[in-house]
């Protein structure tokens, strides 16, 4: 059943895109060419071919012209004309993108819409007139490519949003303000966690000391968790002969996301986009019986994927990242229990990081790009669906969202401002075991083909840190904070006592930083608050004489004086 309100909102937003395009036409005249302008989730955009990128001041000007068009209340008028006449019309106006779209339309009759002086190729629907748009805002400008092809000229995309009610627009703009304040790229720079340098390359992360501590803390937690759940850790190479990726099918189905080959003595190598093919070769180093299964491998392995430059986004979309990978080789009879174990392991893991709300999605066979036969897909999908149903896991269906090699379960976590993020995944694979010809020996001495489960608890460590940064707005819980305690002296007379406190904290593996510089104490405290250090220990002559410490939190709350032992006991329970 269609959602009437959603359809109405999409119509409004699509119309807003046309009104914005009309405003750009009024400002730039023949100096602009028009590509496409659809409604999208939470808003709309239009792609323009112009000589110079739009500036923020130009967005304000476009908004003002939009308001003039709205006040004129021009009707949206639909006309049906022959494809031939449409091509002639857009040729006169030198609209090459519209002509390219028309060349791919098979119908002889096409639809165009007019509002004021602006005419666009469009199926509609639209609002009855421009005056029906009241609550909108232009948000940002970004580069884009025609039909996503990076070999074409870069276009300029203006994003906007529109709502049926003012309160909905205000609420959304307030949400966007929160998102902006929590941008992990801004926080990562302020907290000195990571850097991305053009000298190294786009999408490749340079971890600074604080960031490396954070990354290692997360990885150490995951290692411990995997060992507790009977995983064996592996370490595999960063590059491999193309033969490996030919067997796995990556060169067939994933090549556009892989870095170009490295040639050495007429042998072609690729940096790995996945760890799974190498894990299967580990399995093949010895013969396995049914008694050995399930075999659980884990690796925090760095992989490299050549994402298009337009989609790169700090830690959230990188080209090199550490994958929290697990691969389980398993008999068909063991699948249900193993899926349940992974679900429990994943949800418990996410709760430790502060994500208690989540949604489960069952992703089914892709419509086009998949390998294997339908009967195997049906068996695998039935196993997943029955496991979720019989164990009362609520789930939504992501129709066609499965991996090319099998169906999967995805867990999407809800962050502190209500956004959903894809994190944990459990993917059934009956194709790679066949491609690599792996088997186990059953109780009767027969060779049997196992299943393979690909699983990740947090996915890309880099992406997960980006999510954590935005979830906590940089105020990590104590156990995750790169610097947990800062010791601040009032003057250099307390240096010796500061060193004693430092060593005691260090002995208990508390990550501590000391600032004994000749600097105003208020500035020292202010810097710690900016750096979001959970606790500050203040040491003056009074503390030194009484062998005490004074403690403040990053919220500048004074916890008073206490013995260092009492403080250690306090933070050890964090």
Distance, CA of 357 to chain centre: 17
Active-site choice (25, 98, 454, 544) = 454
Residue with tokens 């203040």: 538
327 as an active site residue: the answer is: yes
Active-site choice (250, 305, 317, 455) = 305
323 as an active site residue: the answer is: yes
DSSP notation for 445-511: S-EEPPEEEEEESSSBHHHHHHHHHHHHTT---TTT-SS-EEEEESSGGGHHHHHHHHHHHHHTT--
325 as an active site residue: the answer is: yes
Instruction: Report d(CA 436, CA 327) in Å as an integer.
Output: 14
Active-site choice (324, 325, 410, 429) = 325
> Residue 566 is inside which H or E element, if any?
helix 564-572
Q: Tell the burial category of 99 from Cβ atoms under 10 Å away from its Cβ (0-12, 13-18, 19+).
A: middle
Beta bridge partners of 162: 136
Distance, CA of 326 to chain centre: 20
Inter-residue contact 485 to 535 (CB < 8 Å)? yes
Query: Taking Cα atoms as reference points, which of 454, 438, 411, 435 lies closest to residue 298?
Result: 454
Instruction: Report d(CA 141, CA 157) in Å as an integer.
Output: 6
Inter-residue contact 532 to 191 (CB < 8 Å)? yes
276 as an active site residue: the answer is: yes
Instruction: Report d(CA 266, CA 85) in Å as an integer.
Output: 55
Active-site choice (13, 33, 408, 412) = 408
Active-site choice (276, 349, 423, 498) = 276
Instruction: Report d(CA 398, CA 363) in Å as an integer.
Output: 4
Beta 118-121 vs 135-145: how paired, if at all?
unpaired
305 as an active site residue: the answer is: yes
Active-site choice (319, 327, 471, 554) = 327
Instruction: Report d(CA 430, CA 324) in Å as an integer.
Output: 21
Beta bridge partners of 447: 441
SS3 call for 65: helix
Inter-residue contact 492 to 516 (CB < 8 Å)? yes
Angle between helices 56-72 and 4-28 (to 10 degrees): 110
Active-site choice (115, 184, 323, 484) = 323
Please identify every residue annotated as catalytic: 276, 305, 323, 325, 327, 408, 454
């Amino acid at each position: 059943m269609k959602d009437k309100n959603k359809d109405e909102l999409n119509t409004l937003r699509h119309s807003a895109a046309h009104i914005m395009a009309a405003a750009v036409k009024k400002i730039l005249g023949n100096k602009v060419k028009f590509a496409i302008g659809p409604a999208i989730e939470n808003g709309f955009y239009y792609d323009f071919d112009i000589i110079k990128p739009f500036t923020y001041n130009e967005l304000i000007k476009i908004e003002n012209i939009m308001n003039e068009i709205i006040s004129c209340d021009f009707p949206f008028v639909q006309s049906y004309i022959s494809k031939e006449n449409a091509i002639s019309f857009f040729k006169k106006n030198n609209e090459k993108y519209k002509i390219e779209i028309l060349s791919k339309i098979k119908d002889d009759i096409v639809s165009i819409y007019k509002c004021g002086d602006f005419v666009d190729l469009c199926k509609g629907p639209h609002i009855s007139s421009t005056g029906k748009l009241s609550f909108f805002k232009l948000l940002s400008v970004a580069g884009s490519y025609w039909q996503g092809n990076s070999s074409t000229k870069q276009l300029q995309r203006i994003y906007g949003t529109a709502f049926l009610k003012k309160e909905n627009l205000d609420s959304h703009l307030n949400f966007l303000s929160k998102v902006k304040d929590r941008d992990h790229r801004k926080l990562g720079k302020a907290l000195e966690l990571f850097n991305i340098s053009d000298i190294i390359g786009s999408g490749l992360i340079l971890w600074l000391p604080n960031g490396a501590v954070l990354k290692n803390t997360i990885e150490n937690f995951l290692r411990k968790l995997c060992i507790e759940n009977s995983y064996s850790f592996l370490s595999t190479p960063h590059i491999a002969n193309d033969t490996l990726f030919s067997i796995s099918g990556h060169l067939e189905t994933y090549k556009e996301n892989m870095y170009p080959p490295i040639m050495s003595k007429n042998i072609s190598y690729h940096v790995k986009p996945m760890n799974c093919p190498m894990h299967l070769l580990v399995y093949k180093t010895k013969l396995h019986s049914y008694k050995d299964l399930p075999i659980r491998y884990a690796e925090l392995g760095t992989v490299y994927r050549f994402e298009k430059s337009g989609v790169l986004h700090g830690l959230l979309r990188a080209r090199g990242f550490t994958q929290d990978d697990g691969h389980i080789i398993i008999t068909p009879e063991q699948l249900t229990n193993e899926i349940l174990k992974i679900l429990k392991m994943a949800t418990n893991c996410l709760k430790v990081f502060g994500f208690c709300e989540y949604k489960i999605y069952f992703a089914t066979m892709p419509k086009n790009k998949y390998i294997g036969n339908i009967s195997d897909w049906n068996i695998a999908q039935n196993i997943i669906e029955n496991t979720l149903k019989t164990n009362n896991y609520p789930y939504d269906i992501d129709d066609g969202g499965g991996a090319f090699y099998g169906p999967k379960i995805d867990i999407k976590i809800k962050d502190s401002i209500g956004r959903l993020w894809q994190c944990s995944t459990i993917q059934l694979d009956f194709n790679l075991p066949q491609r690599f010809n792996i088997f186990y020996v059953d109780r009767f001495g027969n060779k049997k083909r196992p299943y393979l489960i690909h699983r990740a608890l947090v996915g890309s460590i880099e992406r997960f840190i980006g999510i954590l940064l935005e979830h906590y707005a940089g105020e990590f819980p104590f156990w995750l904070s790169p610097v947990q305690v800062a010791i601040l002296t009032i003057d250099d007379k307390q240096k010796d006592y500061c060193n004693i406190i430092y060593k005691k904290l260090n002995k208990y593996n508390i990550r501590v930083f000391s600032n004994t510089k000749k600097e105003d104490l208020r500035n020292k405290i202010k810097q710690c608050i900016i750096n979001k250090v959970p606790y500050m220990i203040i040491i003056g002559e009074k503390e030194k004489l009484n062998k005490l410490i004074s403690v403040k939190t990053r919220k500048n709350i004074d916890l008073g004086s206490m013995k260092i032992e009492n403080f250690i006991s306090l933070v050890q329970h964090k």
